[in-house]
Amino acid sequence: MCLNPLFSAYRGELYGIAFFTAFAQQYSDDTHINKWQLLIQVEEVTAKLLKNGLTPLGMDCPQADPEMENKGVKDAENWLHLSWPALLDTLIPWVEPYAVRYRRQADDATDHHDLYALVRDHEDAILNFLQAEKARPGTGLPYLQHFLTTYAPQAVVS
pLDDT at 136 > cutoff 80:
yes
Mean pLDDT across the chain: 95
Taking CB atoms within 8 Å and a gap of at least 24, the contacts of 94-98 are: 95/123, 95/126, 95/127, 95/130, 96/127, 98/12, 98/123
Model pLDDT, residue 30 = 84
CA-to-CA separations, 62 to 1, 96, 129, in angstroms, rounded:
22, 27, 28
pTM over 0.85: yes
Is residue 138 over pLDDT 60?
A: yes
